[in-house]
């Protein structure tokens, strides 16, 4: 019985980890990264949940297909992140510090089409700021 319970828990955990994502090349201020893309309800909802770490140039691009006000929270996300909200013209409108496991939503001030989540401090350490243009390739 104990074996079955452990097997079921492992199966559930592995399902949470196996969300498949497309990838896109993103350039901001001459910094190139290859990010996973969340552009369906399922992938947007899953995001970076349950990840234990991100490599230095790893992150996620969210695409809602059209501009809207969006909310992000860190439920089930244990990695400190920064999120950049990006409008339809591919301009960064906000960069927000997101603390691990915090369930308070961070609403975009303006309508945005995209968001990029990266490790906390990544935007600042790469000189990327509000008003910078984002280039999205092979997407």
* Per-residue pLDDT reduced to its tens digit, 32-72: 999 999 999 999 888 888 888 888 899 999 999 999 999 99
The domain tally of the chain equals 1
**What is the predicted pLDDT for the residue at 20?**
75
Residue 95 domain-assigned?
A: yes
* pLDDT band at 19; cut points 50, 70, 90: low
What is the rounded CA–CA span in Å between residue 97 and residue 83?
7
Residue 124 domain-assigned?
A: yes
CATH of the domain at 123: 2.60.120.1140
Residue 77 domain-assigned?
A: yes
* pLDDT band at 6; cut points 50, 70, 90: very low
Residue 4 domain-assigned?
A: no
User: Which pTM value belongs to this model?
Assistant: 0.83
Residue % of the chain over a pLDDT of 90: 73
Residue 110 domain-assigned?
A: yes
Least confident window among 10-14, 29-33, 35-39, 86-90: 10-14
Residue % of the chain over a pLDDT of 70: 86
What is the rounded CA–CA span in Å between residue 46 and residue 72?
11
What is the rounded CA–CA span in Å between residue 108 and residue 53?
25
**What is the predicted pLDDT for the residue at 52?**
84
Residue 108 domain-assigned?
A: yes
Between the CA of residue 64 and those of 61, 80, 86, what are the distances in Å?
A: 10, 23, 11
**Total residue count of the chain as it appears in this document:** 139
**What is the predicted pLDDT for the residue at 4?**
45
**What is the predicted pLDDT for the residue at 18?**
52
Residue 13 domain-assigned?
A: no
Does residue 15 carry a pLDDT above 70? Answer: no
What is the rounded CA–CA span in Å between residue 112 and residue 87?
4
Residue 5 domain-assigned?
A: no
**What is the predicted pLDDT for the residue at 59?**
95
| Domain membership of residue 123 as a residue range | 21-137
């Amino acid at each position: 019985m104990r074996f079955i319970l452990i097997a079921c828990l492992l199966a559930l955990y592995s399902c949470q980890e196996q969300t498949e994502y497309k990838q896109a090349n993103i350039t901001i201020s001459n910094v190139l990264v290859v990010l996973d893309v969340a552009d369906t309800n399922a992938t947007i909802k899953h995001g970076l949940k349950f990840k234990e770490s991100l490599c230095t140039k790893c992150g996620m691009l969210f695409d809602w297909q059209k501009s809207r006000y969006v909310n992000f929270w860190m439920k089930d996300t244990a990695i400190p992140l920064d999120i950049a909200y990006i409008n339809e013209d591919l301009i960064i409108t906000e960069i927000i510090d997101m603390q691990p496991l915090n369930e308070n939503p961070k609403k975009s001030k303006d309508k945005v089409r995209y968001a990029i989540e990266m490790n906390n401090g990544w935007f600042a350490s790469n000189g990327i700021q509000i008003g910078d243009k984002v280039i999205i390739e092979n997407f």
